[in-house]
Amino acid sequence: MTNHGETTGSPEKGDISGRGTGPRTPGGGEDDGQQVTLRSPAELADALPYLLGYRPEDSIVLVALHDKDGRGRFGGRARLGIPANPDDWPSAARQLAHGLVTGSERRGARPEQMIVFLCHEPDRGESGRQVKERLGPLARALRLECGALDIPVVEALCVSDGRFWSYCCDDEGCCPAEGTPMGLPGTSVLAAAATYAGLQVRGTLRELRARLQPWEHSAAREQEAALDAAGLALIPRILDAEGRREVAEETLGLAGRLLGRLAEAPPVPGTLPADLRDDELLGHDEAAALILGLQDRTTRDRAAGWMEGDEAGPALRLWRALARRCVGAYREHAAAPLTLAGWVAWSTGDELEGREALAMALGADPDYLFARLLHQACNEGLDPESIRRCLRSEREDHGRATSDGPAVVATEPRQRDGCEVPAAEPAHPDPEAVPSPRRRRTRAPGTGGALSRRLRTEGGRPGRRIPHPRASAVSARPAVDGGTCPGGADESGTRPGGARPGAGRRRGASQPDARTGRRGGDGEG
């Protein structure tokens, strides 16, 4: 593909090659899959969903290119929602460009070139061409920011209303003013290669988030009433040390029975029918007891052990269903099941759902430390196996403690499998942290849990409601560089613990950026 504003070769020889292996294509890595060459803006526009793994909406997308043998090969990708206020566009462009370049440099491959996509459907009474013209200043800001980093933008496309336009070409012969129609989905060379490889493109992020958002139909009232009743029954018990242990065992026992119920249910084709069927398998009282029980950090950490093998699939379905039940005044309680859903999805290789679920957990509660740590680790491209080892060890410890009697209280942290296992602590309920209906920031003692403390990196800080002293700064994190911006931002610049937004955050939306006011971005490497 030729950039008509830069000297990159002739249209016949200038092309961009990308592996037809979907969104996990590493930038500048060794070839280990089928090679697909894209030679025109039309093929490039059609390739975007395969580069991301979903169809972007209302998005700025940057794709890094790495030069190899005279051809550009796809590298990292970063996405950010288009800010509604044009005054925020320069800062959004700076955030996205710097985030992607920083992440690429940490993986040892600075991009040589960049591709820009602006995806936005027309508003009422607006045409696709008008969208292209309206977003022109944003495209220009992105080109200037990349140019300031000495990385030229070789193509910038606006995709809207089934057509695309190039901001880099004014030749009516190849880029007409009325735009070029997009090809039928799935008809490009890259689509054929992806299909052959067994890869599928999901729908939009909006459709993915819909599986995790609270109910808004009539059954939500019944569920909220069940949550009220469960709170009245469980909170007095959680305030008592012995009662808290009993509630934890009851919560995990109930969760185990529901996992079996979900696993035995016959499969249903389609995500919506499958979610509706899972909702029918959970009673209101059962869901309420689990939601409140999982607010206890120790119980949540033990539930996170259902993360692999035959347990992972039913566990992910259960956590999704519980997130949908966090209705009304209990929306902030969704942080626990959303974090568990994000963790299981990431642990089983679905980074897209993992990242979105964790971002939604931080939308429900920006201070939820477990979600913040997992979100940062996922965005940095860390191997979840280090966290799985910690959870397996915790599970084994609990099994031994159950069979041998009360666990011995340790006084010093100890090391095992590269993870810090903090000193054991007796239960000490904190009335200020107990989950309470009709109250914000509600949760059982602490938010971090043993696993979260084990994952702290040097220089980190404990969550505000963790009543325990900080453990030593030994991390479960492998000694590799991740792909995020300093301070835990992903390649799009989203910070997991950003400023608290308004009502939109309470609906479980993705983390908005503190400067742009848009929901969080997605960075992939």
Q: Which two tokens stand for residue 102?
A: 């920083």
Q: Which of 99-108, 194-203, 315-324, 372-381 has the highest mean pLDDT?
A: 315-324
- The residue with greater pLDDT, 486 or 72, is 72
The overall average pLDDT reported for the chain is 74
d(CA 332, CA 363): 9
Using CA atoms, how far apart are residues 471 and 421, in angstroms rounded to an integer? 9
Average pLDDT of the segment spanning 255-268: 94
Q: Are strands 153-160 and 113-119 parallel, antiparallel or unpaired?
A: parallel
- Of 45 and 515, the structure prediction assigns the larger pLDDT to 45
H-state helical runs in 149-296: 189-196, 205-210, 219-238, 241-264, 271-281, 284-293
Q: Is the pLDDT of residue 52 over 90?
A: no
Please choose, from the candidates 67, 6, 1, the residue with its C-alpha nearest in 3D space to the C-alpha of residue 40: 1
Provide the token pair at 180.
């070029």
Q: What is the β-pairing status of strands 419-421 and 414-416?
A: antiparallel
User: What's the CA angle centered on 10, arms 12 and 173, to 5 degrees?
Assistant: 80
Backbone angles phi, psi at 25, to 5 degrees: -60, 120
Rounded distance, CA 287 to CA 285, Å? 5
- Distance between CA atoms of residues 400 and 505, nearest Å: 41
Out of 35-44, 122-131, 202-211, 485-494, which region has the weakest mean confidence (pLDDT)? 485-494
- Secondary structure in 3-state letters for 386-420: HHHHHHHHHHHHHHHHHHHCCCCCCCCCEEECCEE
Q: Dig out the tokens for 47 from the structure.
A: 């390739």
Q: How confident is the model at residue 403 (pLDDT cuts 50, 70, 90)?
A: low
What confidence tier does 453 reach under pLDDT thresholds 50, 70, 90? very low
CA distances from 480 to 23, 108, 334, 399 (A): 21, 11, 32, 32
pLDDT band at 182 (very low <50, low <70, confident <90, very high): confident
**pLDDT tens-digit series, residues 460-496:** 333 333 333 333 332 333 333 333 333 333 333 333 3
Among 478, 453, 455, 451, which Cα is nearest to 305's?
A: 451
- pLDDT number for residue 34: 57
Cβ contacts of 272-280, under 8 Å, gap ≥ 24: 274/317, 275/211, 275/320, 275/321, 275/324, 278/317, 278/318, 278/320, 278/321, 279/321, 279/324
pLDDT band with cut points at 50, 70 and 90 for residue 187: low
The predicted model gives 83-94 an average pLDDT of 94
- Decide: helix, strand or coil at residue 434: coil
Q: Is the pLDDT of residue 170 over 90?
A: no
CB 138 within 8 A of CB 93: yes
The pLDDT value recorded for residue 180 is 86
Q: What percent of the chain has pLDDT over 70?
A: 65
Helix %, strand %, coil % of the chain (to 5): 45, 10, 45
Structure tokens at 105: 């440099």
